[in-house]
Structure 1
């Protein structure tokens, strides 16, 4: 189901006039999704949903705001939401009251967003069963693929306000994940997985996902204990970006204003990482499957350089945080009962060049971390510390030996400053584009 944005806009204006409301805005989306799971060649689960949601804000004559949300996007639902928000506005906060984004009517980026053709449920099930069978056939130790899923989603989002802003965009994506489990006599079960994302089912590289899951699983079969100590660590793109996401309060202006961040307003312009590291947030990156051209407040999205050669160069803002910090909004606001701020899509790249001796084919006794676990429990985001179990290998002159079980611990700010090499080859993950990152002197505890 696709919303007719012009029709919603006309209805909202008409209802607002009838209710005597002169200032309001609406932010919303509709999402169609279907997902399938299989188990040993049989269909296990099929889920399909259509969800619509609109957040409505109304300002009264005293310019305080009320917020409500609704899943009813017809005229009756809109009228009830506008009326409720208007009544709530008299209880709205007076200090730092929200307002329209000054860029809600500014032009948005002219980018082509690919919307793929949807596949049928039988096609999804057939493809996933085939992927499961091919993965099981890759090695006799692969006993099952207990966690798997193939899903497709299409999203229409919009923003409009009483000042004449009306904008919308649509996007679609298909995702596949395969996660194995092994059984070998005298050995602990080992697991590994892979994830693949595309604009459409037709363009999804299923074979790549199968091959990657199999390769990782097989590489973990002959595992060894690792001695505890300090190591040079090589983070995979996924592992580094998951850490970056766990400590995103570094850049988050709302967190900074709430004193819930590792940064302060004065941190801008200071060196927080090795000069080898540059990080941008880029919702419009051509590799981003989920491109968004505007945020929940209607502010156009753009590329924002967060760390430039180790220097903290920007925060991510909503209209409210930007006003309080005397700058411009950056297109990172999420509309809800409270406006929150979050990143879109990271682009991590090298700043300066480094010694090319950092090479997995020649390096001795380094640890390659493929995947970090328990980020919800092992990260102290306000202290900067982390202690996380990981899947990975000891790499010695190109020979990879799986690590039985271990945790890596440290301080994220120290980690950023201990980066000794950023590889030139960037890889696409579901949260951004990033190369492998080499960090010196991190503590690893073997079990």
Structure 2
């Protein structure tokens, strides 16, 4: 009988090692080396250990399903709930109860490990509560936005900040620090998306939207979890916010990206509308002059000299030019001193799609030279016979220049260039913006 019990404990111990090792390899929840000591010392508490083991499995399954829960929450009348989270919550509660009663008969050596189990169980239950609150937030945001409820985005932002204050202000056990990091990443992205939404839809504030856009891009471009260093096939369990591989893409990641592209589209229209209003400034445009002044002050402080807004159609095959908005880039040309000097004119460049290094180096010298040159009018068309590339430029203001890059085999008449620019604008769903830019070419 004793042998059977020992064998059962060894099996549970082995299973839990695999579970926690899987967590560790997937950025997720527990650090294997640090958790191993507690696991080994807990063998004698087989009932508690089994409960904790099952609670971890249910919590893991809940996390894998979290993205689907967010998607389901967007549907009208959907139930906010998940059996894995619910089972994990009850199991963690039972772990705390059983561990507390067993502490009275435990040796001093095991008390610290059992206390750690109580602490982790309690904190994971708080995080399950947080997950439910987040799902409700996504659901309410979608529901109220569909009804065009005034202040819905501001309320969502306030609720999100309240959740962060409630659940993340305290110290967490070091064993779940990776999990906290991934939750904080989700909050940071959503906070900046909501800030950008508020700036664009309610305050019509170009400056705040630029700041929010840059913060979102910094997260997307710099966070390791967004890099395609591993494929989904190489990992046995789901990685939150993993980079899409082939056509597999976590729903929450898709949701963020779609939301972001929609905001970028709004930003392009707002920015264009703002500048177009300054063509014929008169005494009745004090509000617009104030916005223009603020934008220029922001430009002087953060975007010295020139800022280019690039649409590079050469990076897309044939007529399959799709997508809205921009990627915000910092210059990365450092090898050539002349290019480095030129690229220093740009604090960052708005670009659609994101320019790869070869493309950046190919175009940046031309772009800078053209932007610095004097325009006969607000628009300019330039054909570079060396790389068979055409550049269509429209000076939106003293600081912003809109540029469309496309391949052409020869110098074309302005009418054809204008037609191509309009076609690109149509495919980008930015016809209203492009129309005002290319009309002077005809």
TM-score scaled by length of structure 1: 0.23
Higher-Rg structure is 2
**Which structure shows the bigger proportion of residues in strand conformation?**
1
Higher relative contact order (CA 8 A, sep 6+): 1
